[in-house]
A = this chain, B = another copy of it.
């Protein structure tokens, strides 16, 4: 299969920057304490977007993922973004 028709998967991880209030994480911390798991000291959350590209190289896929992040997936004021090749798919 040529590079031009291969499927390339890129994982975009979007999380809140340190210092930005993560209300969901705080709610989970509180709930876990109430459920009897007080040893959970700290919780952070992140959102993963797994983007599957066709007809582009790995480098191009990464560049397109950066464009998608800039234009749709993240807010640079509050979000920290990590882009990396996605791990192979696992069966359910």
Contact = CB atoms under 8 A, between A and B. Distances in A.
Interface of A: 7, 13, 15, 17-18, 25, 28, 31-32, 35, 37, 39-56, 61, 64, 67-68, 71-73, 80, 82, 90, 92
7 contacts: A25-B49, A32-B68, A39-B64, A40-B52, A47-B47, A48-B48, A80-B92
A15 B90 CA distance: 12
A63 to B, nearest CB: 10
A42 B48 contact: no
A19 to B, nearest CB: 9
A67 B47 CA distance: 21
A43 B65 CA distance: 11
Nearest to A50: B44
Given A28-B49, A50-B44, A68 B7 contact: no
